[in-house]
Amino acid sequence: MNEIKLGKKISEGKTVDVYESGDLAVKVFKPDAPKTVVFYEAFMDSKVEETGLNVPKIKEVELIDGKWAIATELIKGKTLAQIMQEEPENCDGYLDDMVELQLSIHAKKVTGISKLKDKLREEIESLDVIDHIKRYDLLTRLDSTPKHVKLCHGNFGPENIVVTDDNKVYIVDWIGASAGNASADVAKTYLKLALTSTETAEKYLNLFCKKTNTAKTYVQEWLPIMAASTLAKGVTSKEEKDLLFTWLDVVDYS
Ligand SMILES: Nc1ncnc2c1ncn2[C@@H]1O[C@H](COP(=O)(O)OP(=O)(O)OP(=O)(O)O)[C@@H](O)[C@H]1O
Ligand SMILES: [Mg+2]
């Protein structure tokens, strides 16, 4: 195995920094990252690779200066978030592409991975910033949702989509993926988009509902659950926390 030498930093995140290294993108975990998290991410990457979806192929998992790192194919391009920022006038078209891409994920079934409902139950049970009544409300709501086993990305948004110059589209960041209900996945994306613009989030949701003939209320029912899940994962900005708290309130949309 050749020793990996890190080049330019592509991205700096909460739990990882991503570097270029020749034709590889190297995701370097922070020193305190548990080994299980690193290997779980590598496992999820390989599981998704097997579906045939356009994802960067995983090449190596190794220690670099005492830190765990996952090396994948380097996708030379820009994130859809960058592109949308550069071309706000084309945002509607890009939202449409985003929904189509997410539908191609939901069309896949992957066995042997976590079930979304199990993960959500654990997250709600662990969330200590809500009282027991709210927790009971959320768990009851979760229990009443239908059992689906579609592949869900879990953190689908423009920053996790990389587009090459010749318009090939790749989806990255699969650690939160699971088998579950597409509407839950869509509610999560809605919350991510709403952090920047409620108008964009609404447009996205309307597009998804139109394309899939889904009632909007069906997705909205998931919003408090997905807000709780996001809070349980740990949110750093006060702005995001405040917004998620407003979505936590169990609202009857029907
Ligand atoms: N294979 C790749 N090729 C090119 N760029 C990549 C590749 N993998 C990741 N990136 C870039 O690095 C960014 C961060 O990677 P990723 O989304 O996997 O981690 P993250 O969101 O920073 O994780 P966390 O928030 O947990 O720290 C992506 O948004 C993308 O711009
Ligand atoms: Mg990401």
Domain at 158, CATH number? 3.90.1200.10
> In DSSP terms, which residues pair with 151 in a beta bridge?
179
Mark whether 47 and 164 lie in a shared domain. no
**pLDDT tens readout for residues 46-66:** 999 999 999 999 999 999 999
Domain extent for 108: 77-248
Q: What is the pLDDT of residue 203?
A: 98
Neighbouring CB atoms inside 10 A of 132's CB total 7
Mark whether 110 and 130 lie in a shared domain. yes
Mark whether 104 and 158 lie in a shared domain. yes
- 10 class by beta-carbon count within 10 Å (0-12 exposed, 13-18 middle, 19+ buried): middle
Counted domains in the chain: 2
In a domain, 192, yes or no: yes
φ/ψ of residue 157, rounded to 5: -170, 170
pLDDT at 250 over 60: no
**pLDDT tens readout for residues 17-34:** 999 999 999 999 999 999
Neighbouring CB atoms inside 10 A of 70's CB total 24
Is the distance from the beta carbon of residue 159 to the nearest atom of ligand 1 less than 6 Å? Answer: yes
Is the distance from the beta carbon of residue 75 to the nearest atom of ligand 1 less than 6 Å? Answer: yes
Summarize the confidence of residues 170-184 as an average pLDDT: 98
Residue nearest to atom 1 of ligand 1 (CA): 74
Starting at the earlier edge strand, list the strands of the sheet with 16-21: 9-12, 16-21, 24-29, 67-73, 58-64
Closest ligand 1 atom number to CA of residue 13: 27
> In DSSP terms, which residues pair with 67 in a beta bridge?
64
- Rounded CA separation 71/155 (Å): 20
In a domain, 253, yes or no: no
Is the distance from the beta carbon of residue 81 to the nearest atom of ligand 1 less than 6 Å? Answer: no
In a domain, 4, yes or no: no
Of 53, 73, 93, the residue at which a domain comes to its end is: 73
170 CA to centre of ligand 1 in angstroms: 11
173 CA to centre of ligand 1 in angstroms: 6
Q: Nearest ligand to the C-alpha of residue 38?
A: 1
**pLDDT tens readout for residues 132-173:** 999 999 999 999 999 999 999 999 999 999 999 999 999 999
Q: What is the pLDDT of residue 249?
A: 82
Question: End-to-end distance of the chain based on CA atoms, in angstroms?
Answer: 57
- Rounded CA separation 142/134 (Å): 12
Q: What is the pLDDT of residue 4?
A: 86
Q: Give the CATH number of the domain where residue 58 resides.
A: 3.30.200.20
φ/ψ of residue 174, rounded to 5: -100, 10
Is the distance from the beta carbon of residue 161 to the nearest atom of ligand 1 less than 6 Å? Answer: no
**pLDDT tens readout for residues 208-246:** 999 999 999 999 999 999 999 999 999 878 999 999 999
The pLDDT-based confidence of 174 (bands split at 50, 70, 90) is: very high
* Nearest by Cα to 117 from 244, 231, 245, 225: 225
Neighbouring CB atoms inside 10 A of 40's CB total 13
175 CA to centre of ligand 1 in angstroms: 11
Mark residue 147 as left, alpha or beta (left: phi above 0; alpha: psi -120 to 50; beta: remaining).
Answer: beta
In a domain, 115, yes or no: yes
**pLDDT tens readout for residues 188-212:** 999 999 999 999 999 999 999 999 9
| Of 32, 156, 173, best ligand 1 pocket probe by most atoms within 8 Å of the beta carbon | 173
**pLDDT tens readout for residues 100-111:** 999 999 999 999
Q: What is the pLDDT of residue 251?
A: 61
Give ion ligand 2 contacts, CB < 5 A.
160, 173
Mark whether 137 and 200 lie in a shared domain. yes
Mark whether 118 and 68 lie in a shared domain. no
Is the distance from the beta carbon of residue 79 to the nearest atom of ligand 1 less than 6 Å? Answer: yes
In a domain, 254, yes or no: no
Q: Nearest ligand to the C-alpha of residue 37?
A: 1
Q: What is the pLDDT of residue 3?
A: 78
Mark whether 184 and 67 lie in a shared domain. no
Closest ligand 1 atom number to CA of residue 18: 12
In a domain, 236, yes or no: yes
Mark whether 121 and 148 lie in a shared domain. yes
Of 45, 73, 101, the residue at which a domain comes to its end is: 73
* Nearest by Cα to 80 from 95, 65, 100: 95
pLDDT at 71 over 80: yes
| Of 10, 72, 80, 237, best ligand 1 pocket probe by most atoms within 8 Å of the beta carbon | 10
* Nearest by Cα to 190 from 176, 179, 205: 205
With tokens 């949702």, the residue in question is 145
In a domain, 106, yes or no: yes
Q: What is the pLDDT of residue 213?
A: 98
150 CA to centre of ligand 1 in angstroms: 23
In a domain, 3, yes or no: no
Mark whether 61 and 92 lie in a shared domain. no
> Amino acid letter at 238?
K
pLDDT at 254 over 90: no
Of 42, 57, 73, the residue at which a domain comes to its end is: 73
DSSP result, 194-216: HTT-HHHHHHHHHHHHHHHT--H
Mark whether 23 and 47 lie in a shared domain. yes
Mark whether 24 and 129 lie in a shared domain. no
Is the distance from the beta carbon of residue 11 to the nearest atom of ligand 1 less than 6 Å? Answer: yes
Rg for the chain, CA atoms, rounded = 18
